[in-house]
Structure 1
Amino acid sequence: MNKTIQDIIERRSVKKYMAKSVPDELIEQIVKAGTYAPSGMNKQAAIILAVTNKEMRDRLSRINLDIVMARNMNTTSGHADPFYGAPVVLVVLAKKDVATRVYDGTLVMENMMIAAQSLGLGSCWIHRAKETFETEEGKQILQELGIKDEYEGIGNCIVGYAAPDALKPQVERKSDYVVWVK
């Protein structure tokens, strides 16, 4: 089977990571793959915040958890860290004035998750990026980073080395997933 297709099929959402840092060279490859995602009219509306700084990573995790707690949601499976211990958070944002921003950002996320898989790393899409950067603290973070345009959070792609017991078996695809029209 083609290696790219195999990586797509074998990719899983990883929710437990080893306490091991990811080399910058691998992160650079992942974000580069993200920058080559298709975008509506090639506007390239998305940007990626490559967060490896532990303080900023923990700050984003806390904001995300505050949103979960405010909604009384149980989406973190009892974990105090919505990022499941992953050392890297790749936040995808997209310009608010671009009509295809959500689609464009979603493609960036997918490219990065497949790239992580191809490099032997685990990844998972963590929601609430939109809500994170709608908070005053989220807006402040963008200001601190010198990001001036109006952006909407699309997703958080967490990345790291999967813990040995983190990978779950593949779930069978539903039988009516594809409708052939020949």
Structure 2
Amino acid sequence: QSPKIVVIQNPETIKEFSAWNRSYFPIDVPEDMDPFYGAKTLLIVLADSERPTYVEDGSSVLAVLVNAAHAVGVGSCWIHRAREEFASDKGKELLKEWGIPETYEGIGHVVLGYPDMDAPEPLPRKEDYIHYVD
């Protein structure tokens, strides 16, 4: 149970993290693009890389967070690029500031909020996504 969840609810801090996350996009995106979709709460999941299953453990936490949010009527989205953020010097400095050992790595983010729109209908699954075996 190595994962830790860092909770950020300060709007200015979330904006700073949004810009930082955007800087790791693999393509150029507009400066006003918000990878956190204006969410009011940002959760950062970190896990101890000294554990052999740290990526799986942290990913499980992210999946449970998204499902739990849905269960109570809260909108959520799993956001990537935490690994790149916390592998950087700035990320290592934040871990130190927060009192989290440097062996912890970023696994992902979950943003939470109440959507101001109706969710679009999901696209159909690709035909070969599920394989049935007798």
Same fold (TM > 0.5): yes
The secondary structure found in structure 1 opposite 2:77 is: strand
Quote the residue 1:58 is aligned against: 15
Would the alpha carbon gap of residues 79 and 95 (structure 1) be closer, same or farther in structure 2, given more than 3 Å must change? same
Aligned equivalents of 1:52, 1:157: Cα separation in 2: 12
Instruction: Calculate the aligned-residue CA RMSD, in Å.
Output: 1.9
Would the alpha carbon gap of residues 78 and 114 (structure 1) be closer, same or farther in structure 2, given more than 3 Å must change? farther
Q: Considering fraction of residues, name the structure with more strand.
A: 2
Give the total of aligned pairs: 134
Identity of aligned residues (%): 40
Deviation at 1:53, TM superposition (A): 2.2
| TM-score computed with the length of structure 2 as normaliser | 0.89
Residue 176 in structure 1 maps to residue 131 in structure 2 = no
* Conserved? CA contact 2:92–2:102, under 8 Å: no
Partner amino acid for 1:56?
T
Q: Deviations over 1:98-132 (max 9, x none)?
A: 12111111111010001111111111111100011
Quote the residue 2:97 is aligned against: 144
Quote the residue 1:111 is aligned against: 64
Aligned equivalents of 1:67, 1:98: Cα separation in 2: 26
Unaligned segments of structure 2, at least 5 residues: none
Quote the residue 2:55 is aligned against: 102
Q: Considering fraction of residues, name the structure with more helix.
A: 1
Aligned equivalents of 1:161, 1:66: Cα separation in 2: 26
Residue 159 in structure 1 maps to residue 112 in structure 2 = yes
Would the alpha carbon gap of residues 79 and 122 (structure 1) be closer, same or farther in structure 2, given more than 3 Å must change? farther
Aligned equivalents of 1:97, 1:169: Cα separation in 2: 41
**Where does 1:1-182 land on structure 2 (aligned, <5 Å)?**
44-68=1-25, 71=26, 73-74=27-28, 79-165=32-118, 167-182=119-134
Q: Deviations over 1:37-81 (max 9, x none)?
A: xxxxxxx1211111112233222212112222xx4x15x687532
Higher relative contact order by CA 8 Å / sep ≥ 6: 1 or 2? 1
| TM-score computed with the length of structure 1 as normaliser | 0.67
> Could you list the runs of 4 or more consecutive aligned residues of structure 1 that deviate by over 3 angstroms after TM superposition?
76-79
